[in-house]
Structure 1
Amino acid sequence: MANDQQAQQQRICEALAVKASIDPQQEIDARVDFLCRQMIETGQHGLVLGISGGVDSTVAGRLAQLAVEKARDQGVEARFYAMRLPYGEQKDEDDAQKALTFIAPDEVLTTDVKPASDALLASLEQGGLAFRDAGHRDFVLGNIKARERMVTQYAVAGAMGGMVVGTDQAAEALMGFFTKYGDGACDLAPLTGLTKQQVRDIGTALEAPTHLVKKLPTADLESLKPLLADEIALGVTYDEIDAFLIGHPVSEQAFTTIVQTYERTEHKRQLPKAP
């Protein structure tokens, strides 16, 4: 790898606060402490997180539950609200239920985002919005679903005096693989700086179900492409993304795809621009 590519890779890794290796238990302790301190310092004594059945929300959910339990040990009346936010019937609902069983949250709230999402899209079309084709329409609907889920979580956080927990980790941050103001919107991001494998390692240390830890990642936002694998959508594998993040060499094709995607999605990682 050329020196300029190595320097560029290093700058990106540092910007995303990635460590080449971690001690899973130390990371668990530090991230639980972070969530606990945020509740105590802000006076917002609830944590809210949508649980999909994937490894990221499973790990973040368990960290959140451990954090509210730690806060309660310190005399703070804290609670974790785990949310199920399906669009109609979720094809891997069994995995979501297994995740909830593992997390053991204080409360589970369920809201179907399909009625609100479909109604908004219908209203847009009635107002004159047109799409290039069915795929374009489905893509826009997918982002609407993600934003409706975040609207729902913030409604619960507002009602219960809490903060919304996000699941963004370094691999998704690198690729901008999240919906702006959707799953990318949150108050607390306890998985920041972790590669996908490091999230899995923490899941294993937490004794999460192996099936969920190793599950093929999918955003599952597009109705015409149910359970589309992230790696197909991204054009690179998580192994390649993780290798890039910890400073290892990757193929020229992977390097180009990753860097171009990182640069194209820079706006997602920034606050709104102002004059």
Structure 2
Amino acid sequence: MSNRQAEIAAALDVVPPFADQTVLIREVERRKAFIKSCLRNAGLKVLVLGISGGVDSSTAGRLAQLSIEELRQETGDDAYRFIAVRLPHNVQHDEADAQAALQFIRADIEDCVNIAASVQGLVEQVDHLDPLNAARRDFVIGNIKARVRMVAQFAIANAHNGLVIGTDHAAEAVMGFFTKFGDGACDLAPLSGLVKGQVRAIAQYLGAPEQLVFKVPTADLEELRPGKPDEEAHGVSYAEIDAFLHSQPVSEHAYATIVRTYDNSQHKRQLPLVP
């Protein structure tokens, strides 16, 4: 273990490896208690989350639904609701997985907002995109998609006086693998501090289908590379990222890549700079 590994793990409040199933269950209960306390402290009764069809949103969504059901039972107040919203850009290539995620989550309310027209409308008005080469333009538009999804979720939450859930966890946070003020924007992030393997373990415990638990993770924001694996973008595997965050030995390449990416993406994990 290096000093940087320990420093980064502490900064991200990384949860130690689950020693056994009892520890995992305790962590699930702690996360549900956190979700419930966020709503109670805000004096609100509705949660909103975008469902992509990946393990992260599936896990966060099921935790949210269970938390809402417990709140209804504990308070006798049927106004508590969880809204799971699909946010495809035209037709999503892995729509079957998104539908499987919804079936697993069993949200109180399901909605769908297709963001394609909004994204295209904005792109048409931003002339600064025109001179970009195809790859760079595709990348910028991918971030626009993430930010439009954020706007849609907050619009739904605002309409219901609710809170927006984010799906960021330690393995994504360390790599800065989220769009600033896009999918990185939320009111609460119940998966924070978990590594990818722990998210998968919780999903499995909650009964998620294997196709979602072990699905190859992808942000799926680029038209030129639909379904591009996260690990290809990272340059390291999630297994290596998890090991790094748990202060376990990793290759020199993985260590250097993770530390460099963490340092370069520091601005994403901070509030706006002020004088």
Is the TM value for this pair above 0.5?
yes
AA at the equivalent of 2:191: L
Match of 2:84 among 76, 82, 85: 82
AA at the equivalent of 2:218: T
AA at the equivalent of 1:98: A
Match of 1:16 among 12, 17, 21: 12
Distance 2:251 2:143 in 1: 31
After superposition, the C-alpha distances for 1:47-93 in whole angstroms (9 at most, x for unaligned) are 00000110000000000001111111122321000000000000000
1:158 equivalent in structure 2? 158
Q: After TM superposition, give the deviation of residue 28 of structure 1 in Å.
A: 1.1
Can you give the 5+ residue segments of structure 2 that lack an aligned partner in the other structure? none
Farther off after superposition, 141-150 or 22-31: 22-31
1:91 equivalent in structure 2? 93
3-state SS of paired residue (2:146) = helix
Q: After TM superposition, give the deviation of residue 129 of structure 1 in Å.
A: 4.3
After superposition, the C-alpha distances for 1:102-158 in whole angstroms (9 at most, x for unaligned) are 100000110000100011011102xx5433301111001000000000000000000
1:142 equivalent in structure 2? 142
After superposition, the C-alpha distances for 1:196-227 in whole angstroms (9 at most, x for unaligned) are 00000000110111110000000000011000
Cα pair distance change 1:98/1:129, threshold 3 Å: closer
1:262 equivalent in structure 2? 262
AA at the equivalent of 1:84: R
Q: Give the 4+ runs in structure 1 shifted more than 4 A.
A: none
Q: Output the aligned Cα RMSD.
A: 1.0
1:229 equivalent in structure 2? 229
Distance 1:20 1:236 in 2: 21
Tell whether the 8 Å contact from 2:129 to 2:137 is kept in structure 1 after alignment: no
Q: How does 1:49-88 map to 2 (within 5 A)?
A: 49-75=49-75, 76=77, 77-88=79-90
Can you give the 5+ residue segments of structure 1 that lack an aligned partner in the other structure? none
Distance 1:132 1:34 in 2: 44
Tell whether the 8 Å contact from 2:123 to 2:129 is kept in structure 1 after alignment: no
3-state SS of paired residue (1:131) = coil
AA at the equivalent of 2:6: Q
AA at the equivalent of 2:35: L
Q: Percent identity?
A: 53
TM (norm. structure 2) is 0.96
Q: After TM superposition, give the deviation of residue 19 of structure 1 in Å.
A: 2.4
Tell whether the 8 Å contact from 2:53 to 2:97 is kept in structure 1 after alignment: yes
Distance 1:24 1:216 in 2: 23
Tell whether the 8 Å contact from 1:40 to 1:71 is kept in structure 2 after alignment: no
Q: After TM superposition, give the deviation of residue 43 of structure 1 in Å.
A: 1.0
Tell me the matched-pair count.
269
